[in-house]
Copies of this chain bind each other. A is one copy, B any other.
């Protein structure tokens, strides 16, 4: 057990964790979209400008994946995280355009011990990202499982 490692008990409702910043390049947008979401507005500036998104725009799944990386760097990498059963919702509020810089925060909404798996608990988090223009670009709520400090850790 490491002193600075985060366990279930550390996710107290109301606690916030900063996310980002992360600047996304046109090349990254196109690379992700080529593999996972090859729609014209995610593949070229020209098609993006012609769409209702207004420019070369990241796939919503790319934005979501970048958000996950910010979450890992913020409060998962050095924690007892045991995965997640899914996403309660994910709102894509504004297009994420090439060279946008995203940052935001994760807030603990709720934490409860799992009766069915002693030593594990569920933490419900709200995450939000803004762009450099101060616009909200996405918001999500998700439940994440964490091991408890003394009993729950099953991975190193």
Contact = CB atoms under 8 A, between A and B. Distances in A.
Contact of A51 (B37, B62, B82): B82
Interface in A38-57: 38-41, 47, 50-53
Contacts of A68: 36-37, 59, 61
B81 A50 contact: no
B72 A37 contact: yes
B90 A87 contact: yes
Contacts of A84: 60, 92
Main secondary structure of the interface of A (DSSP, over half): mixed
Contact of A36 (B52, B69, B85, B93): B69
Interface string A88-124: 1111110000000000000000000000000000000
A93 B92 CA distance: 23
A76 interface: yes
Given A53-B83, A85-B92, A91-B86, A37 B69 contact: yes
A156 interface: yes
**Residue among A35, A40, A91 having the largest count of chain B Cβ atoms under 10 Å:** A35
B81 A39 contact: yes
Given A40-B156, A81-B39, A83-B52, A65 B72 contact: no
